[in-house]
Amino acid sequence: MKIVVVGARGMLGTDLCQFLAQRFEVLGWDIDEIDITNRQRTHDLISNEKPEAIINCAALVNIEACEAKPKTAWEINTTGAQNLALAATHIDADLVQISTDYIFDGKSDSDYDELAEQNPVNQYGRSKLAGEKVIQETCGRHYIVRTAWLFGHSPDNYVMRIVNAAEIDGVVQMPNDQLESPTYTYHLAEAISRLIDEGTYGIYNVTSAGACTRVDFAKYVLEEIGRSESVKVIDSSEIERTVKRPARAVLNCERFEHLTGHSLPHWQVGVREYLVKEKLLFRE
Ligand SMILES: NC(=O)c1ccc[n+]([C@@H]2O[C@H](COP(=O)([O-])OP(=O)(O)OC[C@H]3O[C@@H](n4cnc5c(N)ncnc54)[C@H](OP(=O)(O)O)[C@@H]3O)[C@@H](O)[C@H]2O)c1
């Protein structure tokens, strides 16, 4: 099976290419090879290559950037998704679209399942939700994978931000106003591979097990690598996180688990595996 991964040099795309290459022919394309906002070029590239599946990890993910430039967010997260859906439909390929817990407002006390009402509170969430909808309308052979708070092997990921803050500032400052499931990209890559194997199209929530706040996460990372710096709780505005975010965006992943018979490991297992791979921890 030939698979094109778009956004291949991003945090998820990197792990996905590595994981899928064990079993499939994988072409990793990023902005240098394909600009998904360009409809004709996207169509031509996909038509020439004729993959059986396309996985779209390309996005404008930075929440503040999406708010400051909503048109750009829309072009990449919505029109870009539509362009890939049109190209996929043209060659009868499967399309896997990576989506987000930010399509919800985070006001629910219970975990969101795939049928829960969406109500994004910022431009990122709005553009990603619109991306889901255009794919549903355009391409029958789609999987929409809603995930959350990714950490993987890219330089500025959340784990490294914590490690660097401890090292440089001697204290880690974190807001305490969000509950989510931190998800290790390598575990998510494996889950996406399992979904493709199943061949049952639709929307799936896929995150690591468990949920925590940024403060809990930072404390856990520091504890695991044996650092004694403290974690200071601060207001989001103090670290220039002025754009509204969902407060409790925990996803119910039962549909994915039921279909595949597989659950992602707990986020703490993901953190430990990440730290071992980065040689920051020498046991799992
Ligand atoms: N990060 C999270 O916490 C999180 C949480 C939930 C869901 N998600 C979703 O998961 C997916 C992957 O996220 P990620 O964190 O791995 O993102 P990422 O690291 O920012 O990777 C995205 C990649 O897409 C590329 N790209 C941007 N615009 C493009 C375009 N027009 N055409 C082609 N490539 C383009 C980016 O290149 P440049 O870097 O050069 O712009 C980057 O290499 C996204 O769909 C995101 O919405 C992420």
- Give 4-31 pLDDT, tens digit per residue: 999 999 999 999 999 999 999 999 999 9
147 closest CA partner among 210, 194, 206, 211: 206
pLDDT at 238: 79
Mean pLDDT of 152-161: 94
98 lines ligand 1 (CB under 6 A): yes
Residues pairing with 139 in the sheet: none
Residues in contact with 92: Cβ distance below 8 Å, sequence separation at least 6, in sequence order: 141
Nearest CA, atom 42, ligand 1 = 10
Pocket-testing residue among 72, 150, 251, ligand 1, by greatest number of atoms within 8 A of Cβ: 150
Mean pLDDT of 40-59: 98
pLDDT at 104 over 80: yes
Nearest CA, atom 7, ligand 1 = 100
Span from the CA of 106 to the centroid of ligand 1 (angstroms): 22
269 vs 164, 184, 194, CA distance in Å? 21, 9, 19
Span from the CA of 8 to the centroid of ligand 1 (angstroms): 9
Residues pairing with 99 in the sheet: 146
pLDDT at 240: 74
Domains and their CATH numbers in the chain: 2-154+182-209+249-266 (3.40.50.720)
pLDDT at 36: 98
pLDDT at 283: 67
pTM assigned to the model: 0.97
Please give the share of the chain, as a percent, with pLDDT higher than 90. 95
pLDDT at 284 over 80: no
Residue-wise pLDDT for 259-282, tens only, equals: 999 999 999 999 999 999 999 987
Q: How many residues in the chain?
A: 284
pLDDT band with cut points at 50, 70 and 90 for residue 35: very high
114 closest CA partner among 103, 123, 124: 103
